[in-house]
Chain A
Amino acid sequence: MHESADEPRALLQAQSLCFARNDEAIFGPLDFSLHAGETVLIEGDNGSGKTTLLKVLSGLLDPTSGDVLLHGAPLTLAKLSHQVALLGHLPGLKLELSALENLRFATGMGGIRPGITPHLALASVGLEGYEDAPLRTLSAGQRKRVALARLLLVPAALWLLDEPYANLDRSGIDLVNRLLDHHARRGGAALITSHGAYAFTSGTPRRIALRATA
């Protein structure tokens, strides 16, 4: 998975990336690169460091050694350019606010893609009519859809999705696949974790395998 110099510059690149907590290696060393239009699946058992890897790639955690490059620049500087959208285990939504209020906050923070509005985004994740309902009244799957609508709105080229299929029904899983397809065709890239590729319906994605080291 090493890339040669004449290849186009990768959207995201990890160079001998290692992460250890209290001197206990969580993962690594990892070398991989992610180009525009690619969707890559991070596979691994529970506790193999999938979530930790996403946290390192998004800049939440600092790697113990190695580098994360975004468009060839170190992550800390590239972070300033609205490039990365993270969808973690916790969706980062406020239950007291409505779906629309949550999305308006997200666009205020992260900017908005041209040609889309919070209303349109909610409609495209199948939540038309739920705009003003407090999130507290929505189911876990519907909340997940609101979080997916956030990804559609913010102009990030790189999606880091932690277990995007969790809590979703069959049509929700299809929705995630459609969104990933759409994102890839638009020139975006996505890195998703899953403890199994059962949910992937379209094609076989490239995989990065993680093994529990402890």
Chain B
Amino acid sequence: MKPGSTSAACLALLRRDLTLVWRRRGDALNPLLFAIIVVALFPFALGPETTVLARVAAGTIFVAVLLAMLLSLDALFRSDLEDGSLEQLVVSPHPLALLLGCKIFIHWLTTALPLIIIAPLLAQLLQLPPQVLPVLLTALALATPLLSLIGAVCVALTVGMRRSGMLLTLLVLPLIVPALIFGAGACNAAQDGFAHAAPLLWLAAWLVLSIIVAPLAAAAALKISLS
């Protein structure tokens, strides 16, 4: 692979961002701890009855995971903006959408994937019926990249502003509510013994669309934010 080719650039970016996450691994653990704490508090608040907990388990886990991801979203381009790396990405000879796609992928890999990996533990804490677990994991695997992608577009729009955290949350929340409805809906349907493929397929379709459109939108939004 020739240095400076687009594939080398993507690889260099992936490697750099992974190294950075590793060097700041304390920060990277925050979303994970947040999700565990939120889920662990529910049994204390609702009482230990299995039926009650199992009823709300999937929805609670979904909300906890999405909020945990939202926590880390603001930092997606922030440090790159502050040290000038973002300018270098924009003036680089490679398609900006592709580079941002790499950054979004790293965001998903380092925040969402650990959350999906501990999801079975969270499910256990809330007494989720074991047969629903595969549906929950599938739904999370489809909904979390959606949040990373949609979130990235909103972050790109707000990154030029100071204290954009509140605005970012307001922008992202309505956009991910459908993902929450479909994802948690699929789990609830599975729990009640109904067909649950349709909401999952909707999520998948939406994800495919977002993978194509969101990096392009994020690149356009970023150019506006930087000007």
- Listed in ascending order, the chain A residues whose CB lies under 8 Å from chain B are 58-62, 79-82, 84, 86, 88-97, 101, 104-112, 154-155
Can you list 23 A-B pairs, Cβ within 8 angstroms, ordered by A? A60-B87, A60-B91, A60-B226, A60-B227, A88-B84, A90-B82, A92-B83, A92-B87, A92-B88, A93-B84, A94-B83, A97-B19, A97-B23, A101-B16, A106-B88, A107-B3, A107-B12, A108-B3, A109-B4, A111-B2, A112-B4, A154-B4, A155-B4
* Complex Cα–Cα for A110 and B5 (A): 8
A95's nearest neighbour on chain B, judged by CB, is B83
CB-defined interface of B115-144 with A at 8 Å, one 1/0 digit per residue? 000000000000000000000000000000
Give Cα A86 to B92, complex, Å. Answer: 9
Residues of A within 8 A of B19 (CB): 96-97, 101
Q: Once the chains bind, are A108 and B227 in contact (CB under 8 Å)?
A: no
**Chain B residues with Cβ under 8 A from A108's Cβ?**
3-4, 8-9, 11-13, 15
Tell whether, in the assembled complex, residue B91 and residue A91 are in contact, meaning their CB atoms are under 8 Å apart.
no
B227 and A86 form a contact (CB under 8 A): no
Interface: B164 (CB within 8 A): no
In the docked arrangement, what's the CA distance between A84 and B87, Å? 13
| B94 interface contact, C-beta 8 A | yes
**B90 contacts the other chain (Cβ, under 8 Å)?**
yes
Cβ-closest chain A residue relative to B23: A96
Collect the chain A residues with CB atoms within 8 Å of residue B82's CB: 90
Once bound together, how far apart are the Cα atoms of A151 and B171, in whole Å?
39
A109, B94: Cβ atoms closer than 8 Å: yes
Evaluate whether A110 and B16 lie within 8 angstroms (CB atoms) in the complex, with A60-B87, A60-B90, A92-B84 already known: no
With A81-B93, A105-B12, A109-B92 known to touch, is A96 a contact of B84 (CB < 8 Å)? Answer: no
Interface size (B, Cβ < 8 Å)? 29
- A111 near B4: Cβ-Cβ < 8 Å: yes
Please name all residues of chain B whose beta carbon is closer than 8 Å to the beta carbon of A111 when the two chains form the complex: 2-5
Given contacts A90-B83, A93-B83, contact A112 B20 (CB under 8 A): no
Closest 10 CB pairs of A and B: A111-B4, A108-B12, A90-B84, A92-B84, A92-B88, A96-B23, A105-B16, A112-B3, A109-B9, A92-B85
Whether, in the assembled complex, B162 has its beta carbon less than 8 Å from a beta carbon of chain A, the answer is no
Query: DSSP class of B's interface residues: helix, strand, loop or mixed?
Result: helix
Classify the secondary structure of A's interface with B.
Answer: loop
| Nearest chain A residue, comparing its CB with the CB of B4 | A111
Which residues from A are CB-within-8-Å of B94?
109
Nearest CB to that of A97 among chain B residues? B19
Tell me the bound Cα distance from A61 to B8 in angstroms.
26
Query: Are B92 and A110 closer than 8 Å at their CB atoms?
Result: yes
Task: Tell yes or no: B163 within 8 A of A by CB.
Answer: no
Question: With a CB–CB cut-off of 8 A, which chain A residues contact B89?
Answer: 109
Question: B84 to A94, Cβ gap below 8 A?
Answer: no
- Of A82, A92, A93, A112, which is in contact with the most chain B CB atoms at under 10 Å from its CB? A92
